């Protein structure tokens, strides 16, 4: 995972959702600024974690990267090809290389399709081969994710949450992608099942050289699975660093508060911890604060923070932060 071996480059990406009003003649009265100018790289073979509180724009980032949403502005380069300029048939082969695993293993599988049909669907759509080859590939995929290939004729409701998530993983692997966006793949699962899925994702990465964008709100799990971690707040990136560096040297006041808020399952460690308690709630992304988006909850905010948007800068080698006062 060399620093220069970039698989995907996100450059000043913006995604706003219009807020419409009026029934007969509807007109735009504002915008939800779900993603509001973010830039980062994903390196070949790495896991980049993306954490942040609900509604901060993580899923929108993932979907806009995959061009499931078209960006409002900015660029997404995949192996130096700008995906935002591609349309229809030019985009299709690129889409095969980038897949997504979704949060809800119950809602994301079509209940009327068998497991075999679900896993084989991308192969059929992309005309990957004949029926026999496709069936063979489905068997191989089910085995790869630790499911019995004999399950191919069963329906999703016959499976537990963890097994359904494995089906989702098998489908995402069908076209041999390079990049998988994992959008909260374990949030809906029981604790004892989460580790099964995380271990599976790690094993598959080792075997197949996959690159992951791993989205979650559980910082402990993100830190566990990621090589580098990006922290998102209200549509912007607050900080990005190596997993160890982020934990040992958090530079952004939000990262510091977030780290201190995560409980550690060890009463001895918990006794010694000091918590930074943030006040208030996350503001609405339809009307984010001027200047620094975090300023309404930031314990060290200054007048400058309301006037000027902090720059996204590389304060230390490979450690990026957006705060006027980070040193």
Partner 1 sequence: MAPKVLEVKDLATEFKTRDGIVHAVNGVSFELHEGETLGIVGESACGKTVTVLSILGLIPNPPGRVVSGTAHYLGKDLLKMSDEEIRFIRGAQISMVFQDPMTSFNPVLTIGRQVAEPIEIHQGVSRKEALERAGELLALVGIPNAKDRLADYPHQFSGGMRQRAMIAMALACSPTVLIADEPTTALDVTIQAQIIDIVKRLRDQLGMAIIWITHDLGIIAGLAQRVNVMYGGCIVEEAVVKELYGNPQHPYTLGLIGSLPRLDASTHTRLISIDGAPPILMQKPTSCPFAPRCTFVVDRCRQENPPLLSFDTHHRVACWVDPKTGGPRS
Task: State the binding partner of 292 from ligand SF4, ligand ADP, partner 1, none, CB within 5 to 8 A by kind.
Answer: ligand SF4
Window 225 to 264, contacts with ligand SF4 (CB under 6 A): 252-253
**Torsion angles phi and psi, residue 87, rounded to 5:** -130, 160
CA gap 69, 47 in Å, rounded: 22
Nearest distance in Å: CB 223, ligand ADP = 18
Q: Are 212 and 180 in contact (CB under 8 A)?
A: yes
Which residue, 121 or 202, has its beta carbon nearer to partner 1?
202
Which residue, 42 or 301, has its beta carbon nearer to ligand SF4?
301
Nearest distance in Å: CB 10, Mg ion = 17
Give the closest residue to 285 by CA, choosing from 19, 6, 32.
Answer: 32
* Distance from the Cα of residue 248 to its chain's centroid: 23
Contacts with ligand ADP by CB under 6 A lie at 17, 32, 34, 52, 54-60, 285
Task: Find the part of the chain contacting ligand SF4 (CB under 6 A) among 61-69, 195-203, 221-229, 288-296.
Answer: 288-296
Nearest distance in Å: CB 25, partner 1 = 28
Q: Are 44 and 32 in contact (CB under 8 A)?
A: no
- Please give the order of strands across the beta sheet that includes 73-78: 27-43, 6-21, 73-78, 81-82
* C-alpha distance across the termini of the chain, in Å: 27
Q: Are 118 and 167 in contact (CB under 8 A)?
A: yes
Q: Please pick, from the candidates 310, 312, 319, 320, the single residue that binds ligand SF4 as defined by CB under 6 A.
A: 310
Which residue, 254 or 320, has its beta carbon nearer to partner 1?
254
Residue 90 neighbours by CB distance under 10 Å: 11
Number of residues that bind Mg ion (CB under 5 A): 1
Contacts with partner 1 by CB under 8 A lie at 53-54, 160-163, 190-196, 198-199, 202, 217, 219-221, 223-224, 244, 247, 257-271, 273, 275, 277-282
Q: Please pick, from the candidates 65, 295, 312, 320, the single residue that binds ligand SF4 as defined by CB under 6 A.
A: 295
SS3 16: strand
| Residues at the site binding Mg ion, with contacts judged by CB under 5 A | 59
């Amino acid at each position: 995972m060399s620093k220069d071996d970039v698989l995907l480059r996100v450059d000043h990406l913006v995604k706003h959702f219009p807020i419409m009003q009026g029934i007969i003649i509807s007109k735009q009265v504002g915008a939800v600024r779900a993603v509001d100018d973010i830039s980062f790289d994903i390196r070949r073979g790495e896991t980049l974690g993306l954490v942040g509180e609900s509604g901060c724009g993580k899923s929108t980032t993932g979907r806009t990267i995959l061009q499931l949403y078209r960006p409002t502005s900015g660029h997404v380069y995949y192996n130096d090809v700008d995906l935002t300029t591609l349309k229809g048939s030019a985009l299709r082969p690129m889409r095969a290389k980038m897949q997504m695993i979704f949060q809800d293993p119950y809602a994301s599988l079509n209940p009327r399709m068998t497991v075999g049909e679900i896993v084989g669907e991308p192969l059929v759509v992309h005309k990957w081969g004949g029926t026999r080859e496709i069936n063979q590939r489905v068997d191989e995929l089910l085995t790869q994710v630790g499911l019995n290939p004999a399950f191919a004729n069963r329906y999703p409701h016959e499976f537990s949450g963890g097994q359904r998530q494995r089906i989702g993983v098998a489908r995402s692997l069908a076209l041999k992608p390079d990049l998988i966006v994992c959008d909260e793949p374990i949030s809906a699962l029981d604790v004892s099942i989460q580790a099964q899925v995380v271990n599976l994702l790690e094993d598959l990465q080792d075997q197949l050289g996959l690159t992951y964008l791993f989205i979650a709100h559980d910082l402990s799990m993100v830190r566990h699975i990621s090589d580098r971690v990006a922290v998102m707040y209200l549509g912007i990136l607050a900080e990005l660093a190596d997993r160890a560096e982020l934990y040992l040297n958090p530079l952004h006041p939000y990262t510091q508060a977030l780290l201190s808020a995560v409980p550690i399952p060890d009463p001895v460690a918990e006794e010694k911890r000091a918590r930074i308690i943030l006040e208030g709630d996350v503001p609405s992304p339809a009307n984010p604060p001027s200047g620094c988006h975090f300023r309404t909850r930031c314990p060290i905010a200054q007048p400058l923070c309301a006037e000027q948007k902090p720059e996204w800068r590389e304060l230390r080698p490979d450690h990026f932060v957006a705060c006027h006062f980070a040193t």
